[in-house]
Amino acid sequence: MKQPLITIGMPVYNCESTVAEAIASILNQTFQDWELVVYDDGSTDATAEVAREFRDPRIRVLEGEVNLGLAARLNQIAGGCKSDFFARMDGDDIAYPERLELQLETLEADPAVDLLGGSVIIIDQYGKAIGFRRALETHREICGHPWRFSNLVHVTWMGRTAWFKSNPYDASLINSQDRALLFRTRNRSRFAALPDILAAVREDRPVWSKLLRGRKHLVRSTVIEAMHQRDFGFMCICPLAEAVKLGLDAVATSTSLDHRLLRHRVPFVPAKHVEEWEGVLKAVRSRTPSAAEESKGTSE
């Protein structure tokens, strides 16, 4: 078989209820020269079984016996692919139809860009649009405040496969692997983002233990890297910035004010984006195996 131009890496863990829509959103792409590698990371539910219901030969489902974590699986997928470009995808998010096409056009037009992201819609567990996060577009904007690297939303990443192979994720990190990688490579890479909405990202109510663990790992990894790079200013700023955020998180998750205090996580979503999103979701859901079964049953 001809090697596809883009490999999409989708590590999944216990995504039984959402993985079908995530995969269907790749099938719904306007650009079709891709392969999707779904790597089940030791799930304890039926995630792998749901993924295998798709019969498209471009979709490969791999299964790991133990849970190694997102970073380790991404390194494995990227390390084994031979396509020119590598894109990220999560098992609980949904890609917009023109995502791959738009990113490919930009990366081919500007060979200097190593990694490209985009804007996202924030959705709840039911698929309702609850926020909009516009991406910072230039390398200078993205790297101007490294403690805000989360603006380059991980699920929207697409870049040259060679870059991912040369810059693997730190598999020892439980959370914040994306921000740690951006900080580590910012002086020898070029990042960019599109203003277009490329994906819908599910964000549940923040869990204190997860937030604490993630910020702790981020501070540790970035401070160590800052020492190596002799960026002593950032060594002081990063822990302080994360401590402020952690304090806000603590108040928010221990009260009923989580959505008000964490409004910076889910800024207001314009009505035009809500309407567009509802159309995307409808199209994606029509491509899932369950929708096909329902259609078959109705026709019979």
pLDDT single digits (tens) 131-187: 899 999 999 988 876 555 567 899 999 999 999 999 999 888 777 788 889 888 988
Mean pLDDT for the chain? 83
Radius of gyration over alpha carbons of the chain, in Å? 19
- The CATH code for residues 6-203+269-299 is 3.90.550.10
Domain parsing of the chain, residue ranges:
6-203+269-299, 205-265
pLDDT at 208 (0 to 100): 39
For 248-298, write each residue's pLDDT tens digit.
555 555 555 444 444 555 567 889 999 999 999 999 999 999 776 655 555
CB within 8 A of 41, min separation 6: which ones? 11, 12, 13, 64, 67, 68, 69, 70, 73
Residue with token string 């098992």: 91
